[in-house]
Structures are given as C-alpha cells and as structure tokens.
Structure 1
Amino acid sequence: MTATVPIGEFSRLTYLTIKTLRHYHEIALLEPVSVDPDSGYRYYSTEQVDQAHLIKRLRELNMALPQIKAVMAAPDQAARDTAIRAHLERMEAELVRTRDVVASLRALLLPSAAIDIEYRSVASYPALAMRAEVAREDCDVWCEHSYGTMYGQLAAANLAPAGPGGATYATEFFEYDRGEVVTFVPIEDRHRDRFDPESMLDLPARRFAIAVHAGPFTEFDRTYGALGSHVAEHDSALAEPVREIYLVGPGDAEPEDYRTEVCWPIGRL
C-alpha cells in the first residue's frame, strides 16, 4: 500500500531539503505525483522514497545531475545498474589517482634525495617504431596499442627485441598536453629487411646525461625536473626529445617496481 505525503513529510522521509526537492521538480529529475492547483503545494508518493534515496547517494558520489537524469530514465533495472557501475568504476579510478597524488605530495615534503646521473655515449641503432600525435590523456592507451603492435610484429617474424623498448615525446606534448609520441623497440640490424621500411627508425648516435627513474610514471616530473635542471646548469642540451628507455615497465612488474632510463641528449658523439 502506498500513500501520498506533502513535501515537508517527504523531505523528512528522504533527508532531502525542500529547496532541493523543488529544484529536482524544476529540472524534471524527481517530480511530485500531484501539485495543488490553488496553493501550488507539492505531494509525493511513498513509492518515490527509494528513487529519492538513489538520487541522494549518486549526488554524494559527485555524479552530475544530467547523468543522474540519464540513470533515472534508464529503460530497465539492468541498464540503470550498468550506468551506476560505470560511475563507480570512474570514482574508484579517481580514488587511486588521488591516493597516488597524496603519496607524491607527502614525498615532496621530505628533503630531496640526490639524483644519480650517468654520462653515456650511445651508438645509432635500428628499431621498429610507431608515431602519432597523441593527447596526454590518451597516451597510456596509445602506447599500449603501439607496443602490442610492434611486439606482435616481432613474434610473427619469430624474433626477439634487441633491447628494451622506449619512447620520445615532442616538446609540444609537454607544452600543450598534445604532441608527437614515438614508441620504438630495438631490433638487430641484420633483420631490418624483414620489416616494412616505413615501420623502421634509426635512432641517431647521441651522448646523454642519464638518470634512472624508479617507480610509477606519476612521479616522472620529479626525475625530469632534477635531471633537466642538472643539464641546464652543467651541460648544453640538444633541442630534441628526451629518450625514455623502459627497463622494467607495464606487463613486467607492479608500478612501484618500474625502472626507466631518462636520457637527456647533450651532444653528438
């Protein structure tokens, strides 16, 4: 059995203020079952209590009102549950990101440890490569796709890479959150004829100042900052992308165990 209650009582049943209930009526999110034509007073059904509770919890999860309207308008319970699960997954991902940023911020409060820098001359070498203009927010997905493609090509040719994969990022990638990203996987020179020349890249010989970044990519800015500052203060950097070499990366270990060489080009051999 259901009953009809005035807005004040419905407010008490749902923990939603009268002001909020009026707003939800105005935007057609939660409409009363009837409105007195003379007084304009709103009345709600007790069947709407569960809907109000759902809306309240979705708002507490920071779901935008247009999204909540879409959830409430879902054609059936399964579609509604799917939309809610998708939002929960986004919230969980945001919680992970927040946790990582908090840990990083705590680390910034500690005295900075000295960074170990090695100078190394690297000869030119061939590699399978893929390049694209990539937005920073899409970089992880694109890199996963490109490495999967290149390692798939090697597997199809029954070959192993000649070293760890790497990548370079154009200056625009940092300046505008979008720029050319080149991913590469070294191969032996004697095998280059087995691949499309368009998929090949000869990385030029360079002298680098190199620091090893240990840990997740979320902390890369600190390694870039320390190494780049050292180069600016003690060397002369080339106007070209820094090379990143992924000694231990995704698929090999957990993020806290990643190891990446950050190679700052400082001159020709």
Structure 2
Amino acid sequence: MTATVTVGEFSRLTHLSVKTLHHYHEIGLLAPVSVDASSGYRRYGTDQVDTALLIRRLRLLRMPLADVRAVVEASDGPAREETLRAHLERMERELAQTREVVTSLRELLTPGRPVIDVQYRFIPPFRAYGVSGHVARDDIGPWCGYAFGKLNTVGAGIHATAGATYSDEFFTEDAGRVVAFLPVAPDQAPADGVELVDLPGGYFAVAVHAGPMTDFDCTYGALGSHVAEYCEVAPGPIRELYPIGPGDVPDPADYLTEVCWPIQRIPVLKG
C-alpha cells in the first residue's frame, strides 16, 4: 500500500531537507506525485522513498547531479553500474572512508530488501538529565559526543537507556533542536552542567537499527513509510534510544539504535 505525505513528512522519512527536495523538484530529479494548484503544497508517495534514499546516498558520495540523474533514470542495469563504477573509482582514490557509504549504496540497490519489523509501544512520561542545543545535521556526531559525555559524567551509576529527541526542523531545515537525555528517578537531584527535563508519554512505532549509522536513513525511510501507511502521526519530535552505543562497544557493527516515531494510538492491523 502506498500513501502520500507532505513535503515536511517526506523530509523526515528521507533525511533530505525541504529546501533540497524543492531543488530536486525544480531540476526534475525527484518530482512530487502532486502539487496543489492554489497553495503550491507538494505531496510525495512513500513508494518514492527508495529513490530519494538512493539520491541522498549518491550525493553523500559527492556524485555530480548529472551523474545522479543518469543512475536514477537508467533503464538497464549495466548503464547504471557503469556510471557508479566510474565515480566510485574516483572516490576511492580521494577518501578511504567512503567505502562504508559504497557498501550501503550497493545494499540499497539490491532487490529483495527485508521488510522492517515494527513494534508498537507506549512510553510513560519520565524525568531525565538532558543536554539540549540547536544542532546542524552535519555537526550531530561531534555534538552527541559532547552531550553524552556530559550525561555519562553526571549519570555515573545510573542504569538507564540514553536517547535523544530530534525536532522536525532538524530534518526539514538541516538544523534544529536536539535534546540528549538520560532517564533518572522522579526525585533525582539537579546536577551541574545538565538540565532536568520531563519528557511526555505517548505511543510510538518503534524499529531497531542494528549496526553502524551508514544505513540509518533506510531505517527512517522504512519506519516512516510504515507509519504513513498504517498509523496516525502524532505531533512531537522523533526519539532515538541507544541500548548499545559507542560508549558500550568498540565495534559499530554491534550498535543497536531504536527509532521511535510518535503516533496517535496503536493501530489495528488486519492480516
């Protein structure tokens, strides 16, 4: 089943900012399925998520837009693979770290990708130590290192799963409010350098991302598509929980991240 979503929601599904999506529409690279004649509002289909993720991955590899278009519009495998091969050879000479993105791209192009396992969960309200900031997407890695470093320092001895909330603007504008948090007891005393924040309870659709963050946007795309097709989206930021993160294990292949998408209620799915 395919649903249509607003450009803002499609931005959250694909990690492409609204500005970028508008540009891709203007140049004919990724057009919405409909544009309201009076308001100009764009809507995208969830069946466009994979194409958007493919474009995003190619642009992460700094592939020129003309080559991206050739890959997206290629009607046969060999033509697509030839364009990819030429660019990947150039990138491998420049940056060794692009190999992870290359692997992710090839997996994205592989047919028969597994269906995401989505669970529904009610998370009660809770209090947490928090570190907040207006963070650019490109700076999220260093910022999280700083924020969770502070939380780990003041939260020594607290056994709880840390996480973070991400505002809509973080996705749609490539920068927005992020709150890193570590749950604490309701009567927890304040600590220097962190806030005491109260996170509201609510229903969430939850998917687990296993391994490094190279393919993290694929989990977002699959979970967001599921929510758009089967659930009613609730207002509020997306949450990420980090049962196993960089501070727990040395190998990114062992990371476990839970993406929690706010929904109005648990849907009744008919089999």
TM range (shorter): 0.5 to 0.7
The two structures, once aligned, show a CA RMSD in angstroms of 2.2
- The residue matched to 1:174 in structure 2 has which SS? helix
For 1:242 and 1:121, how far apart are their aligned partners in 2?
Answer: 14
Counterpart code for 1:205 = G
Q: Select 1:177's aligned residue among 152, 165, 174.
A: 174
Query: 5+ residue gaps in structure 2?
Result: 1-91, 267-271
Distance 2:165 2:150 in 1: 17
Is residue 116 from structure 1 mapped to residue 117 from structure 2 by the alignment? yes
| Residue pair 2:131, 2:194 contacting (<8 A) in 1 also | no
* Residue of structure 2 equivalent to 1:204: 200
Letter in 2 for 1:100: E
Relative to 1, partners in 2 of residues 1:162 and 1:92: Cα closer, same or farther, differing over 3 Å? farther
Q: Displacement, 1:132?
A: 0.5
Counterpart AA for 1:237: V
CA contact (8 A) 2:120 2:204 kept: yes
Q: Would the alpha carbon gap of residues 194 and 179 (structure 1) be closer, same or farther in structure 2, given more than 3 Å must change?
A: closer
User: Structure 1 or 2: larger helix share?
Assistant: 1
Alignment match, 1:100:
100
Amino acid corresponding to residue 235 of structure 1 in structure 2: C
Say how many residue pairs are matched: 173
2:157 maps to 1:166: no
The TM-score, its normalising length taken from structure 1, stands at 0.60
Q: Which has the larger radius of gyration?
A: 1
Gaps of 5+ in 1: 1-90
Distance of aligned partners of 1:94 and 1:203 in 2 relative to their CA distance in 1, 3 Å threshold: farther
Matches within 5 A, 1:51-200: 94-96=95-97, 98-110=98-110, 111-155=112-156, 160-190=157-187, 192-195=188-191, 199-200=195-196
Which residue of 228, 233, 239 corresponds with 2:235? Answer: 239
Which structure ranks higher in relative contact order (CA pairs < 8 Å, sequence separation ≥ 6)? Answer: 2
What is the distance in 1 between the residues matched to 2:147 and 2:93? 27
Secondary structure at the counterpart of residue 235 of structure 2: coil
Which residue is 2:218 aligned to? 222
Is the 1:242–1:263 Cα contact (8 Å) retained in structure 2? yes
> How far 1:106 sits from its partner (Å)?
1.0
SS in structure 1 of the partner of residue 164 of structure 2: strand
Aligned to 2:60: none
Identity %: 46
**93 and 139 in structure 1: CA distance in 2 versus 1, 3 angstrom threshold:** farther
What is residue 71 of structure 2 aligned with on the other side?
A: none
**Would the aligned equivalents of 1:121 and 1:208 in 2 still touch at CA under 8 Å?**
yes
Paired residues of 2:204 and 2:262 also in contact (CA < 8 A): yes
Write the deviation string for residues 126-161 of structure 1: whole angstroms up to 9, x where unpaired: 100011011112111111111111211123xxxx22
Deviation at 1:258, TM superposition (A): 0.7
| TM-score, normalised via structure 2 length | 0.60
Give CA deviations for 1:73-126 in whole Å, capped at 9, x if unaligned.
Answer: xxxxxxxxxxxxxxxxxx999321x10111001111222101111111111111
CA positional deviation for 1:193: 2.7
